């Protein structure tokens, strides 16, 4: 069962997001927004856009390593649920009650994974991309043929739009949880503590 079972008692406030997770999140958000603004509207010499990209790449690699080798609730195994659980959660999404999920919920988990993958594509294609004015080419740009460069530049530009849409959806869902489901997910990402379910349901059911 994945519905909130806490009918009477208020759910316990427990530490969920540790300091590395919180620092990672807000640093990543600031770098992605700054990097995007600089890429779209910044000066033709894209040095600082590149610096943001290197920093984002480093954060994403560290987060991937933590996802693979880390412990719950930060490792992928603990928040990438199977189709059955994800679908069951999706069907309960519009119920007007908080989920009190002890970590990323099944839909949120997949969106986090998608964001990390899209960010990895964004940074790696940027390394080889060509600037349209040839003022600021990616640092590994000379390693690939001109056809490949065009291809990777195209992917870098299209992926940026997809990334923007997914991040928009991410923020929209946070607001949806706050307004519709009356669950504040931002507070826990700031303080680390979250109200979580007290009963141990079988999460893979």
Binding residues for ligand HEM, rule: CB under 6 A, are 21, 24-25, 28-29, 32-33, 63, 74, 104, 108, 112, 115-116, 167, 170-171, 174, 185-186, 189
Nearer to ligand HEM, 151 or 176 (CB): 176
- What distances in angstroms separate CA 139 from CA 9, 82, 152, one per listed residue? 57, 39, 13
> Residue 141 or residue 159: which is nearer to ligand HEM going by CB?
159
105 exposed, middle or buried (CB, 10 Å; 0-12, 13-18, 19+)?
buried
Q: Which is nearer to ligand HEM, 76 or 140 (CB)?
A: 76
Q: Calculate ∠ Cα 20-26-27, nearest 5°.
A: 80
> For residues 104 and 150, what is the distance between their CA atoms, to the nearest angstrom?
37
CB of 92 to ligand HEM, least distance (A): 15
In whole angstroms, how close is the CB of 43 to ligand HEM at the nearest point? 21
Minimal distance in Å, beta carbon 143 to ligand HEM?
28
Q: What is the DSSP string of 9-51?
A: SPPEEEE-S-HHHHHHHHHHHHHHHHHHHHHHHS-SS-HHHHH
Is 93 or 174 the residue whose CB approaches ligand HEM more closely?
Answer: 174
CB 105 → ligand HEM: shortest distance, Å? 6
C-alpha–C-alpha distance, residues 192 and 101, integer Å = 14
CB of 182 to ligand HEM, least distance (A): 14
Tokens 């007290």 appear where? 198
Pick 115 or 149: Cβ nearer ligand HEM: 115
């Amino acid at each position: 069962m994945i519905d909130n079972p806490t009918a009477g008692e208020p759910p316990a406030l427990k530490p969920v997001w540790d300091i590395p997770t919180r620092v990672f999140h807000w640093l990543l958000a600031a770098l992605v927004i700054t990097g995007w603004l600089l890429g779209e509207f910044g000066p033709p010499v894209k040095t600082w856009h590149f610096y943001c990209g290197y920093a984002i790449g480093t954060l994403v690699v560290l987060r991937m390593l933590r996802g693979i080798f880390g412990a719950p609730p930060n490792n992928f195994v603990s928040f990438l649920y199977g189709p059955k659980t994800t679908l069951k959660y999706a069907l309960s999404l519009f119920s007007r009650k908080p989920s009190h999920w002890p970590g990323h919920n099944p839909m949120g988990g997949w969106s986090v994974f998608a964001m990390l993958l899209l960010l990895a594509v964004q940074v790696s294609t940027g390394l080889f991309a060509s600037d349209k004015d040839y003022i600021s080419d990616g640092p590994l740009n000379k390693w690939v043929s001109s056809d490949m460069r065009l291809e990777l530049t195209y992917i870098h530009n299209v992926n940026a739009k997809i990334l923007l849409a997914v991040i928009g959806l991410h923020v929209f869902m946070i607001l949806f949880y706050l307004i519709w489901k009356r669950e504040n997910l931002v507070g826990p990402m700031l303080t680390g503590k979250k109200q979580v379910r007290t009963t141990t349901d079988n999460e893979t059911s």
